[in-house]
Amino acid sequence: MSELTKAKLADLEEDFRNYHNIPKKIAEVLVAKEWRPEDENSWIKGTTGHTEKALNDLIKREKDKSYLYYSKLYADIGRAYKSLNNELKAIVDKYFWGDSNYMGWIEIGKDTYCSTAGIYKKRYKILEALAVERGIIVKVE
């Protein structure tokens, strides 16, 4: 199994921490795709159902790279989270997504009564699970 660099670990950690913001980013991508500057009065028009053009636009949207990236990232983080044991899930819930998401890893180690080396090993396990799901590394059993 290949090692993850410090930069890659930092990127994976940022992705993991932003998990709950990804649906908002997906919505922004979709809204940005639908917005047409020439149609400034579109809010006045009524809704007319789905035309063939609207359905074609929906198909094009699914080919949008930003939409695909965020959708895949959201699914990968969800699968990585499900693959973690309960102890690591608790760390993610509290320190990545919860009230203590501002804490650094040394403080997290103190809060969980874990050595600095121990907490960094747990961090690596969490981020390794995401790296496996993203296809960055291949886990050899």
For residue 122, the Cα-to-chain-centroid distance in whole angstroms is 19
pTM metric for this prediction: 0.72
Report if residue 46 sits inside a domain.
Answer: no
Domain that holds residue 17: 6-38+51-134
pLDDT tens, the chain, 141 aa long: 467 888 998 999 899 888 888 888 888 777 766 655 555 555 555 555 555 566 566 656 656 777 788 888 999 999 999 999 999 998 888 888 888 888 888 888 888 898 989 999 999 999 999 999 988 888 766
Is residue 36 within 8 Å of 42, Cβ to Cβ? yes
Report if residue 44 sits inside a domain.
Answer: no
Task: Give the CA angle between residues 138, 132, 109 to the nearest 5°.
Answer: 120
Q: What pLDDT is recorded for position 22?
A: 87
* Residue 65 CA: distances (Å) to CA of 30, 33, 61, 62, 76: 11, 11, 9, 8, 16
Closest Cα to residue 129, out of 22, 16, 23? Answer: 16
Report if residue 75 sits inside a domain.
Answer: yes
With H, G, I as helix, E, B as strand and everything else as coil, classify residue 8.
Answer: helix
Report if residue 55 sits inside a domain.
Answer: yes
Report if residue 45 sits inside a domain.
Answer: no
Report if residue 92 sits inside a domain.
Answer: yes
Closest Cα to residue 70, out of 19, 33, 32, 35? Answer: 19
Q: What pLDDT is recorded for position 69?
A: 86
Report if residue 141 sits inside a domain.
Answer: no
The total of structural domains in the chain comes to 1
Report if residue 98 sits inside a domain.
Answer: yes
